[in-house]
Amino acid sequence: GAGVSQSPRYKVAKRGQDVALRCDPISGHVSLFWYQQALGQGPEFLTYFQNEAQLDKSGLPSDRFFAERPEGSVSTLKIQRTQQEDSAVYLCASSLQQGQETQYFGPGTRLLVL
């Protein structure tokens, strides 16, 4: 596709429910990033993939958060047993290579946990 796409755009979950957020990066982009953005704040790094390899997951807030990119393209961020503090916008970005390459962002998934 022309840009990064994410689905769903909006997700309302009951506390304790599991959710899965999908990211389709720009075709051919090697690097893929997940960020969490709270209202009025900048994005906070969650995890980073280079192709199918998850090279950095230091930003994942707990073991309830899990991300995968099994074939090096589409990625899924899974949150198990959601809590109210998980409510945020989850942004996915991709870049052609690692390092200094510009990151291109998807529209985000707005998650609300009730």
Partner 1 sequence: GQNIDQPTEMTATEGAIVQINCTYQTSGFNGLFWYQQHAGEAPTFLSYNVLDGLEEKGRFSSFLSRSKGYSYLLLKELQMKDSASYLCAVIDSNYQLIWGAGTKLIIKP
Residues that bind partner 1 (CB under 8 A): 4, 33, 35, 40-45, 48, 56, 91, 98-100, 102-108
The nearest distance, CB 110 to partner 1, in angstroms, is 8
Separation of alpha carbons 2 and 26, rounded Å: 7
Per the CB < 8 A criterion, the answer to whether 94 and 74 are in contact is no
Nearer to partner 1, 80 or 103 (CB): 103
Task: Measure CA 69 to chain center.
Answer: 11
Nearer to partner 1, 27 or 102 (CB): 102
The nearest distance, CB 101 to partner 1, in angstroms, is 9
Separation of alpha carbons 3 and 67, rounded Å: 21
Separation of alpha carbons 88 and 99, rounded Å: 26
Nearer to partner 1, 1 or 99 (CB): 99
